[in-house]
Every structure is written in structure tokens, then in C-alpha cells.
Amino acid sequence: MKAVFSALALAALSVSALSVSATAQNLSKPDSEFKGTANNKAWHATVKRTDRGHIIGNPDAKSHLIVFTSYACEGCHTFAFRGDPELDYALIAPGLLSVEIRQRINHPVDMPMSLLSRCGAPEKFKVNHAMFMRYQPKWQERWENAGAFARQAWSRDTHAARSGLSNTLRLNEMMDRRRGYSQMDLQRCLTDRTAIATLRANSAADTTEFGLPGGKLGFAVPHFVLDGELLEGVNSWAELYPILANRFKPEPEADFQFQ
């Protein structure tokens, strides 16, 4: 059976999650998973920097999802379109789930994009990250058109290589025109040695701690850790959706017996 999950499906879950609090109060179910969510703040705009990434949503949410992603990862690009909006609407906004984005460093674009996405205040990260992830087809076209010599030069671990890549792929232009960064800000972030070392160390630490696969296939898809457990074989929204739907499904309403 082909697994297809639409925004409507999770939206229905969201409606249940947001409306069930009143029912929970009326039915006197104090332990209901969804009790009181209707009046909570909208958490999807809350972003904080962590030791290894950025957490989006309620830091005290009962469940925590880590998403390991690479900007050259085609499966991550697909997840950004299909999974991110539904997670935002149904689970992050009402405070039920927090999502932590952790960047893996593999392709030459990963370091400059990671540096630019985290440039400035932590609350800017979410939109920066989404912009680069959705921009993937455009920069891939420019990457291929640049030729083998340029691609080889960009693979070097130098500021000149990162700066040249960022300019040719128009990353700086996007950050300037769409996000309001100055060229001085962008150059400062691209040359931040502490951030470069941190991103490398974090990527290696996550790979070791969770046993994340490497190689071409390992970096072609996102990987997920839910409440500390690696979801093996789960590398897409279609595979993640039923797990989250089961975790957050509303409790059945109590049966009433009238005397």
C-alpha cells in the first residue's frame, strides 16, 4: 500500500489536538496529552541555539524530535516541503513537540550554508535554514554549470573557497536581498573560525553518538531521533508521519451512561 500523507491529514490531527482541551476539561481527564493546548502560545516562532543545533518550539514539550540534515541532501529538500509545514502547524505551534535541526557537514556547500543560516540572532535561523533548503534545485544547477575546476576549488577548506562558492551560487545575494544581511555581516559569519570548528565537531559527534550512516546514501536522506531513539529506516515524511500520528493521537472520549 502506497503511503501518501497530505497536509489535510495532519491538519485534522492538529484540529483535534487544539480542540480536545475543552473536551478534556469537560470529561475530567487531567492526564490528557492535549489538555490546555488551545490557550497556549504559538511556539513555532520560538528558536533557541543548542550545543549542537537549533531547537524550534516549546523547549519543555513532552516529545523532542531531532532532524539531521545536509543542504545537499535531496531527501532533506523533499522533507522541507512536505514535513516542515505540517510539523509547524500541527505539533510545534501548540507546544506538543519541539524540533531540533542539526546540520551534517559533507558536501562543499554544507559549511558555507550552515555558517550563513546561523548568522546573527538564533531566531533568524529557522527562516534562513528553510530558504537554503528550498533553494536546493537552483544552487545545484549553478554548481553543475560552474565546471569541474571550480567545483574542485570550492571543495578546499579555505575562506577563499567558501566565499567564492557563496558568491557564485548567489547565497550572499539571497541573504542580502531576502533576509536583510549586510555583506559585512555575511563575511564575518563565513570567516567565523569558532563556528566552523563547532559545526565540524557537532557533525562528527552526532554521527558517533547516534550511529548515523555516511557515504552517498547516508547523506542523501534526513535522519530522525525521537525522544533519544534513532528511528532506523525512517528517512522521509511518509515514514515519519505514522509514528508521530500514533504518538500524538487524541485519547478516545469517555462513554457516558445516563441513568
Per-residue pLDDT of the chain (259 residues), as tens digits, is 333 334 434 444 443 443 333 333 222 333 434 344 444 579 999 999 999 999 999 999 999 999 999 999 999 999 999 999 999 999 999 999 999 999 999 999 999 999 999 999 999 999 999 999 999 999 999 999 999 999 999 999 899 999 999 999 999 999 999 999 999 999 999 999 999 999 999 999 999 999 999 998 999 999 999 999 999 999 999 999 999 999 998 876 655 554 5
pTM summary value: 0.82
DSSP assignment of the chain equals ------HHHHHHHHHHHHHHHHHHHHTT-TT-TTTTGGGS--GGG-EEE-SSSEEES-TT-SEEEEEEE-TT-HHHHHHHHHTHHHHIIIIITTTSEEEEEEE---STTHHHHHHHHT-SSGGGHHHHHHHHHHTHHHHHHHHHHH-HHHHHHHTSSSHHHHHHHHHHTTHHHHHHHTT---HHHHHHHHT-HHHHHHHHHHHHHHHHHHT---HHHHTSS-EEEETTEE-TT--SHHHHHHHHHHHTPPPPPPP----
Task: Please give the pLDDT value at position 250.
Answer: 80
Task: Please give the pLDDT value at position 255.
Answer: 55
Task: Please give the pLDDT value at position 41.
Answer: 77
In CATH terms, the superfamily for domain 7-247 is Glutaredoxin (3.40.30.10)
